[in-house]
Amino acid sequence: MAQLRDKIKKEVVPALQKELGIANVNAVPKIEKVTLNVGLGRGLKDKAYIDTVTSTLTRITGQKPVFTKARKSIATFKIREGMNIGMKVTLRGPRMYDFIEKLVAVTFPRVRDFRGIEVSAVDQAGNFNYGFREHIAFPEVSSDEVDRLHGLQVTITTTSKSQEKGLTLFRALGFPFKK
C-alpha cells in the first residue's frame, strides 16, 4: 500500500511547490510522524481494560503501544509522578503512510455523524489533531467484541511552520475538511 507515498512524490509535492511558491523540494511541508494516544482515565486500575486498549491499539496500528507516565503528581485525580496514565503508539515510514491512507479512505467515513473535519483541527504549527469518541470507527475493531468503548487521539506531526501550510498539505492529501 505504498500508493500514498507515490502520490505524495508525484502529485502532492509538485502541487504544493507551485501553490506555496517554494523553489526547493526539501522545503515543502512533509509528514514526520503519526501518534495515537489513549488516556486510561478511570480504567487505570482495571487490568482487563488495559489489556483491551493494548490489543485495540495493536490491531489498529500493527505496533505494540507504550505506556505514558505522569510527569507530576496531582492529588485531586489520585495520580502520582511516574504512574502509567495512558498509552501511545508512534508510526513512521510505511506504516505511517498506510495508516493515513486508511484514515482518510475508510475510518473518517465510518465515524457516526461525520460532516467533515473542522479547520481548527490543524494547529498554528501545521500539525493535525483529531479525537475519536469511539474506537469502533476503525475497521480493525469489530463492534461485536467490544464491551467498553474508549476514545483515542490521532496527531499527525508535519514539518510545516504555519496553519495555512499545514491545511494546504492535508487538503492535498485528501482530508475531508468542512467548507
Q: What is the pTM of this model?
A: 0.87
Q: What is the mean pLDDT of the chain?
A: 88
Q: What is the pLDDT of residues 43-62, one digit of tens each?
A: 677 888 888 888 889 989 99
Residue 30, classed as helix, strand or coil, is coil
> Which residue is listed with cell 489533531?
129
Position 169 confidence tier, pLDDT thresholds 50, 70, 90: very high
* Of 111, 97, 105, nearest in space to 62 by CA: 97
Could you tell me the residue ranges of all domains in the chain?
Answer: 3-172
Residue 8 confidence (pLDDT): 87
Give yes or no for residue 65 having a pLDDT over 90: yes
> In angstroms, rounded to a whole number, what is the distance separating the alpha carbons of residues 143 and 72?
36
Domain 3-172 listed as CATH 3.30.2320.20: no
How many alpha carbons fall within 13 Å on the CB side of residue 12? 23
Return the residue matching grid coordinates 502541487. 15
pLDDT of residue 111: 85
pLDDT digits (tens, 9 = 90+) for 79-115: 888 888 889 999 999 999 999 999 998 888 888 888 8
